[in-house]
Amino acid sequence: MLSMLQDRLCTDQDLLMMQEGTTMRKVRSKSWKKLRHFRLQNDGMTVWHMRQPGGSAKPSFSISDVETVRKGHDSELLRSLAEDFPLEQGFTVVFHGRRSNLDVVASSAEEAQVWMQGLQLLVDLVTSMDQQERLDQWLSDWFQRGDKNQDGRMSFQEVQRLLHLMNVEMDQDYAFSLFQAADTSQSGTLEGEEFVQFYKALTKRTEVQELFENFSADGQKLTLLEFVDFLREDQKEVGHAPDLALELIDRYEPSASGKLRHVLSMDGFLNYLCSRDGAIFNPDCLPIYQDMTRPLSHYFINSSHNTYLVGDQLCGQSSVEGYIRALKRGCRCVEVDVWDGPNGEPIVYHGHTLTSRILFKDVLAAVAQYAFQTSDYPVILSLENHCSWEQQQSMARHLTEILGEQLLSTALDTPLPTELPSPEDLRGKILVKGKKLTLEEELEDKEEAESVLETGQGSELETNCHSEIEAPQNRKGKKAALCPSFCPAVCCQSEAQAAVCDPGAPPVSEQKSKPILCPDLSALVVYLQSVSFHSFTHSKENYHFYEMSSFSESKARNLIKDAGNEFVQHNAWQLSRVYPSGLRTDSSNYNPQELWNAGCQMVAMNMQTAGLEMDICDGLFHQNGGCGYVLKPEFLRDTRSSFHPERPISPLKAQTLLVQVISGQQLPKVNENKEKSIVDPLVKVEIFGVRADTTRQETSYVENNGFNPYWGQTLCFRVLVPELAMVRFVVKDYNWKSRHDFIGQYTLPWTCMQQGYRHIHLLSRDGTSLHPASIFVYICILEGVES
């Protein structure tokens, strides 16, 4: 692959022009548009920029950080500048994770085409690299960084500097002996293959060598029977070990003769341990493996809060990019707060704040385009409608025209349904969640709307923040709690009439008029009808399976504490959506685990904010094909379940987890700007589940070694409800002065862990790969809890 890349760099006309460099305009906003000279480096893997040709160059981005390249017509920012620049001259570089897009305008459509085609070619090449090719590329990148004078050779002085960059503290004499051994040409410098040999000597895995020799009779190879013994005894691959052994030898043994003889060399053994098959996440859980024919209420659903925001809740930017990113990461429930906009066009923003505004129809266009790129399973539009009658009609028209056949506008043709349809039934469909009129209400609202249109009154009511949460009457005539008037925390206004306000909220005077809901919009709500929650008894007696309620995080927590078992039973037949507190103006997140413990399906997250909470969310939804739906444990799907998340008892089967943290590999620096700073890594293992299971333990730290630290320490965890447990491995840089600094993490469900000797491939704070950074562990799960 690397030779293919080098061939392309020498022959592909687009890449040749990119290596020469192009002056283009970098665009951040309508007022920030500056010329920059961009150039693809000779390695074909990095793009640098300078203010002008011949000036001081700075790295702009690495090809491995790029997810895709979009043309100018697909850029929200460039479309807003269409009067200044032809869209054909623009393109957008989209990065993995939460890094902001890079919008660029070339001086001609032809130049833009060169860069779009060239970048996409390089992205495709990087994406298709196998494990060894990625390692080769990583080595090539380090060689480029270490070769300070760019002469294609590395002196010992350059190697010493490189070791500090790579997080290695090494005795100078020992480093020099490795350098001399690798310098087979005796030139006093290391070139290509010599540097590779130096790296191999540097990264010799003695702990893996010892493990290999424990099962190898001659210490040179593992025979088929020896490898089968290893898979059965240590890796717990009981049922199909012989067939699996043959597959793994064929996949990871580098020598052709070894494959023919069905033996595994040390290199092949290490290749297997570092591969997806040797990773901690069970590969059987990566594709869609769960039953997708159960009712929607039986699944955890990947859900987003205020999806349009890419920043904070008060002054942040609203952008269709929020929807694109959420949908592409597997989110299946997105939120749309809709308000009256100019020129009769509804707009989306966080009402009564300084957040920017985007058109409702632009949001729908993005949803239509990206809804099913990652997953075929249904997308839910959580619609918070604050619009007047006329603009509600516009909303209904846009929903119907833009979403077309994707929009579910009528119930499925099933006789007398008693439960929600399944994700499988709703494949490729977009569902609207919102308020729905009864037949009587529809007639009343039509008359009231006609009266309002005739008199011109009611506009204030129709657009104020309480238009959807003003005390609706339930079927027994009792009024629901009112939401407080606007407060600096921007409380729960956006959660519609389905919200139940927190106790202690400041009282407001009851409004006399009822908001008007347009029948055209009401008709598009089929299975997800928003209703106010009063009590679990009231829901059983008055509500249907196609109705659902929303809860603030504090309300949901109180219900779990006071009536946890009833909440579990409720969530077995009806959907619940939980949203973050209005006090989280910085777009911080709560821990979704405690809401999942009660079976709440739609636990809405501020997906723009990285951190522990999103690690847990991403960890749960990584399984099952990343489709956005995860089947709940059986005891959370039973309307007569006895499970209480605060007091879990038998017949749940407790388990004990033993984690031997063995070693780490190629850990990144905490501060890239400090060449000589080297991390002191420690590993923290955290369990998140029911309250009794939530705990953490950590190893001691290893001083001055981020390259190949060794711990060899065992941690023990006893868990009552493993079906709900999430396991998070965090590597931190020890700092006695303050909280330890984050290096990398990996989070996965307990039920998706593989036992045995496993590598854990670390992710950044943003959830992107830190390849080849990993930790090597031994995992053992025992039934029962030791006293």
Burial 256-279 (b: 16+ CB within 10 A, else e): eebbeebbbbbebbbbbbbbebbb
Residue with structure tokens 């040797």?
A: 278
Please measure the distance between the N-terminal and C-terminal CA atoms of the chain and give it in whole angstroms: 54
Q: Which residues are catalytic?
A: 305, 350
With H, G, I as helix, E, B as strand and everything else as coil, classify residue 440.
helix
Cβ-proximal residues to 180 (8 Å cutoff; 6+ apart), any chain: none
Cα 145 to its chain centre, rounded Å, is: 30
Q: What whole-number distance in Å separates Cα of residue 653 and Cα of residue 649? A: 9
Cα 787 to its chain centre, rounded Å, is: 38
Tell me the DSSP string of 683-748.
Answer: EEEEEESSGGG-EEEEPPPPTTBSSS-EEEEEEEEEES-GGG-EEEEEEEE--TTSSPEEEEEEEE
Q: What whole-number distance in Å separates Cα of residue 130 and Cα of residue 274? A: 12
Tell me the DSSP string of 583-625.
Answer: T-TT-----THHHHTTT-SEEEE-TTS-SHHHHHHHHHHTSGG
Residue with structure tokens 């990583």?
A: 138
Nearest 5°: CA angle at 509, between 503 and 514? 100
The residues facing 571 across adjacent strands are none
**Distances, alpha carbon 271 to alpha carbons 136, 277, 499, 632, in Å:** 13, 10, 53, 35
Residue with structure tokens 């399906």?
A: 601
Question: Letter for the amino acid at 53?
Answer: P
Contact 697, 195 (CB under 8 A): no
Q: What whole-number distance in Å separates Cα of residue 421 and Cα of residue 541? A: 21
Q: What whole-number distance in Å separates Cα of residue 195 and Cα of residue 561? A: 60
- The DSSP call for residue 63 is G
